[in-house]
Amino acid sequence: MSHQPIKFYQTGTFTVGNRLLAPEERSVQADMRRSNSLNSGHRACQGCGEALGARYAIDAAMDAAGGQLIAANATGCLEVFSTPYPETSWQIPWIHSLFGNAAAVATGIAAALKVKGRSDVRVVAQGGDGGTTDIGFGCLSGMFERNDDVLYLCYDNEAYMNTGVQRSSATPPAARTATTPALGNEPGNVLGQGKYLPAIAMAHGIPYVATATVAELRDLEAKVRRAMQMRGARYIHIYVPCPLGWGHASHDTIRVARLAKETGLFPVFEALYGELAGVSKIRRKLPVEEYLKPQRRFAHLFSPTPRPEMISRIQGIADRNIRRYGLLDAEGAQP
Ligand SMILES: Cc1ncc(C[n+]2csc(CCOP(=O)(O)OP(=O)(O)O)c2C)c(N)n1
Ligand code: SF4
């Protein structure tokens, strides 16, 4: 496939304001020389947060690597919508791994490059939350503890979307999925702790761990850039709403992502060698209902029987995140 350079209309709305910024602050997306790693023509749903997050993350990584980047990609929506063989929207060296071994494949690529003395070529691995927190967790933990020179990008849409919206260990409490129906006294996903991979990654003491969201795309680019300046195992957990699986309007992807952050349900931070190093503060704290209401996966919390007790337990999770990560300023922006 021949490489298609970026077209002006693909630089998006950042382009104009971008010119007013210092060169080092400009968005990679608004640059006519960006690599256009995930080109148009793929089959993601309208408003897909994963497609958006991946385009920003991989273009930023490509930019930071001077165009010398190889990606290993787990099975999942990102692979299926981008690469219906024999076609592909990727314009980078891109390897489809199995569902559960993207981290191991990336480790192998990094090892081979080391043997060949090619320190100029960088490696990323990427996958959905199912491929990362569930089936690929063992490979990923191994990659962390060996401190392999790979940046792992997890696109968290909080379920197995590619195969029809089944629960993963990143699915939030009370969410309805194909395997957690809205039935019984506590409808939807079990109200437990779930598996919060950013904290588990931090516990490995690796050089860099960050969370990011498509609601703050400049922050996502900056974090990818920072991660690419480092060597060893690095992990970025990116929050990517899925209109199909979450049941929100496709034009609400960014709004839902912003509400996740502003309620405290998705803390945005970075950590160096296992220590918290920076937090993106909540600008105006909002109650969790504001986040839950636009999504049909939580509709059973409001009707036909309102479930205030379940909502207040979800509020408790948000409040714990706010305390744990210091998401409010001392003056505490109030709801
Ligand atoms: C060993 C194995 N089990 C199951 C599957 C089927 N499968 C492919 S993708 C997928 C779910 C992917 O979910 P996730 O990683 O969260 O990515 P998303 O599609 O949500 O982006 C499943 C179950 C598979 N390919 N291999
Ligand atoms: S199902 Fe969700 S993650 Fe998959 S392409 Fe559609 S919006 Fe994106």
Q: Of 26 and 335, which is predicted with more confidence? A: 26
Would you say residue 115 has pLDDT above 90?
Answer: yes
For atom 3 of ligand 2, the residue with the nearest CA is: 242
Please classify residue 195 by burial: count the beta carbons closer than 10 Å to its beta carbon, then call 0-12 exposed, 13-18 middle and 19+ buried: middle
Confidence at 24, pLDDT banded by 50, 70, 90: confident
For atom 8 of ligand 2, the residue with the nearest CA is: 48
Ligand 2 lined by 328 (C-beta under 6 Å) = no
241 vs 227: CA distance, rounded Å? 23
Percentage of the chain exceeding pLDDT 90: 86
Mutate to test the pocket of ligand 1, among 43, 160, 165, 168 (most ligand atoms within 8 A of CB): 160
Tens of pLDDT, residues 189-224: 998 878 999 999 999 999 999 999 999 999 999 999
Give this prediction's pTM: 0.96
CA 99 – ligand 1 centroid, Å = 6
The number of C-alpha atoms within 13 Å of 241 and in the hemisphere containing its C-beta is 29
Would you say residue 240 has pLDDT above 50?
Answer: yes
Would you say residue 272 has pLDDT above 80?
Answer: yes
What would the mean pLDDT of 259-275 be, rounded to a whole number?
A: 98
Total number of residues shown for the chain = 335
Strand residues in the chain grouped as ranges (E): 69-73, 94-96, 122-128, 151-156, 208-213, 234-239, 269-272, 275-279
Ramachandran angles phi, psi of 33, nearest 5°: -95, 5
Contact between 92 and 62 under an 8 Å Cβ cutoff? The reply is yes
Q: Residues 239-270, buried b or exposed e (16+ Cβ, 10 A)? A: bbbbbbbbbbeeebbbbbbbbbbbbbbbbbbb
Would you say residue 29 has pLDDT above 90?
Answer: no
User: How many other CB atoms are found less than 10 A from the CB of residue 28?
Assistant: 25
What are the angstrom distances between the C-alpha of 60 and each of 134, 227, 259, 322?
Answer: 27, 10, 25, 29
Order the strands of the 269-272 sheet from edge to edge.
94-96, 69-73, 122-128, 151-156, 234-239, 208-213, 269-272, 275-279
88 vs 15: CA distance, rounded Å? 26
Contact between 126 and 151 under an 8 Å Cβ cutoff? The reply is no
Would you say residue 308 has pLDDT above 60?
Answer: yes
CA 168 – ligand 1 centroid, Å = 10
Per-residue model confidence (pLDDT) at position 335:
38
Ligand 2 lined by 48 (C-beta under 6 Å) = yes
CA 112 – ligand 1 centroid, Å = 27
Ligand 2 lined by 199 (C-beta under 6 Å) = no
